[in-house]
A and B are shown apart, each in its own frame.
Chain A
Amino acid sequence: MIAIIDYGAGNIKSLQFALDKLNKESVLTTDPQVIRDSDSIILPGVGAFKDAMDAINDLGLAGVLKQEAAAGKPILGICLGMQLFYERSYEDGDWEGLGLLKGNVRKIKDTVKVPHMGWNTITKNKENPLMNDLPDDVYVYFVHSYAVGSLEEDSLVGSTQYGGVVPAIVQQGNITGMQFHPEKSGDIGIKLLKNYGEMIS
């Protein structure tokens, strides 16, 4: 069972539908016990960094997520969910994240239109089973105004170009992040989720 952390607003349904297509059982939850009992965790997310962290803290889930991460349970963060893994975000202030990965989150340079919205290509930064059977430069759907920086170079699996390098897929041990929305990236996105599922099973 996959525990999808339901900490607030946004379109989580599409993610569930995508997992349904892959015959992956999932549950929307904020219950620490359900999260502990799950096989893997997905931290979705749209919206503001601070609101999301506040919600996670108010629900008492920050500790649970950190413990499960430390215990080695696979955790996938999508979009804002990936950004929450990092130490800090400078989105309208300076906020502390979950600190599961080293790095921070900053606004995309306004030399390009912000938000970064639409289909952009992923360039492989290193070989990784997540990219199995996928050619270089596949298109996936991005919607975000902030991006991860100062990350550990070795964790970068794939990136895109938008006002500079934008980390698109990161992975360190059991922690995986996707800045784009695999559940909204057509067949490529479904394939990425499938690869992820095979990788952690």
Chain B
Amino acid sequence: MLAKRIVPCLDVDKGRVVKGKKFQNIRDVADPVELAKRYNEAGADELVFYDITASNEERDIFLDVVENVAKEIAIPFTVGGGIRTVEDIHKVLRSGADKVSINSAAVDNPQLITDSALKFGSQCIVLSIDAKEVAPKRWNVFTRGGRNDTGIDAIEWAKKGEQLGAGEIVINAMDSDGEKDGYNLPLTKIIADTVNIPVVASGGAGTREHFSAVLKEGADAALAASVFHYDEINIMELKKYLQEEDIIVRRENEWK
């Protein structure tokens, strides 16, 4: 049986991992390669790295990080942030990333999804959606790190992203991001019921019950950052708990 995935996310700035609360007050945490190794050993199923600054000079530092991570760990990882062209995608894949996450650039230029999916395969094109509830049960897509309301309906955008060729959707609920009050269950459920590609829930993880709830609501994977960085939740213990909750998870560590 296909396992539900636990995905730690690392925001990287100038080669270092940081974690912001609601995208502000960013503070330094650790070396990305060290953190990646630690998460791998703890049983993370995948990793996500977001390059949060992505000026041209810093881009090269980030590509080095990607390559060093690929060298150290043998689990899949996604890279996002500052991806604007097919060539950007090519570079991170060649550096050792398995998937690329596109956010603002896909809204500006939806053709980028199709072009890159045709070139590299849908399986490595992840559409990342920052969504915020602007009216009851109405979520809009935000871009530019959450500063710009595009007016686009998030559910429609997810559907369109799938048609354009995205192989996975990350739905980041901005209202709950950094609050540790739980994932946005209604939004995640609607998206998961609407598309026939994997859906990764993001934003709001605070307790292990939050993971259980969103995975039971239909998410294929649950992404979180600070609860893992600050060791508030141990991935190995989380997976043991999820298994007790009858959620199928990979527990490879027991093999050795």
Contact = CB atoms under 8 A, between A and B. Distances in A.
Nearest to A52: B121
Nearest to B221: A118
Contacts of A33: none
A119 B45 contact: yes
B120 A139 contact: no
A184 to B, nearest CB: 5
A187 B256 CA distance: 9
Interface stretch (B11-19, B93-101, B182-190, B201-209): B93-101
Interface of B: 1-5, 40, 45, 67, 70-71, 74-76, 90, 93-98, 118-124, 167-168, 196-198, 220-221, 250, 252, 255-256
Most B CB within 10 A of own CB, among A18, A46, A139, A161: A139
A150 B104 CA distance: 43
Contacts of B93: 9-11
Nearest to A190: B74
Nearest to B195: A113
Contacts of B74: 14, 17-18, 21, 183-187, 189-190
Contacts, number: 121
A106 B71 CA distance: 33
A181 B255 contact: no
A17 B36 CA distance: 16
Contact of B98 (A14, A51, A186): A14
Given A120-B2, A183-B74, A115 B98 contact: no
What 6 pairs between A and B have smallest CB-CB spacing?
Answer: A13-B96, A139-B250, A47-B121, A119-B250, A143-B123, A119-B3
A188 B4 CA distance: 18
A119 B196 contact: no
A114 interface: yes
A121 interface: yes
A46 B220 CA distance: 22
Nearest to B256: A187
Given A9-B90, A184-B75, A185-B74, A116 B2 contact: yes
A102 interface: no
Contact of B197 (A11, A114, A189): A114
Contact of B1 (A12, A46, A121): A121
A46 B96 CA distance: 13
Most A CB within 10 A of own CB, among B2, B40, B75, B124: B2
20 contacts: A9-B94, A9-B120, A11-B97, A20-B71, A110-B196, A115-B122, A115-B123, A115-B167, A115-B168, A117-B123, A117-B168, A118-B221, A119-B45, A119-B250, A120-B1, A138-B255, A145-B123, A145-B167, A181-B98, A188-B255
Given A47-B119, A119-B2, A184-B75, 11 more contacts: A9-B119, A11-B98, A13-B67, A14-B70, A14-B96, A117-B198, A119-B250, A134-B255, A143-B98, A184-B76, A186-B74
Interface in A134-165: 134-135, 138-139, 141, 143-145, 161-162
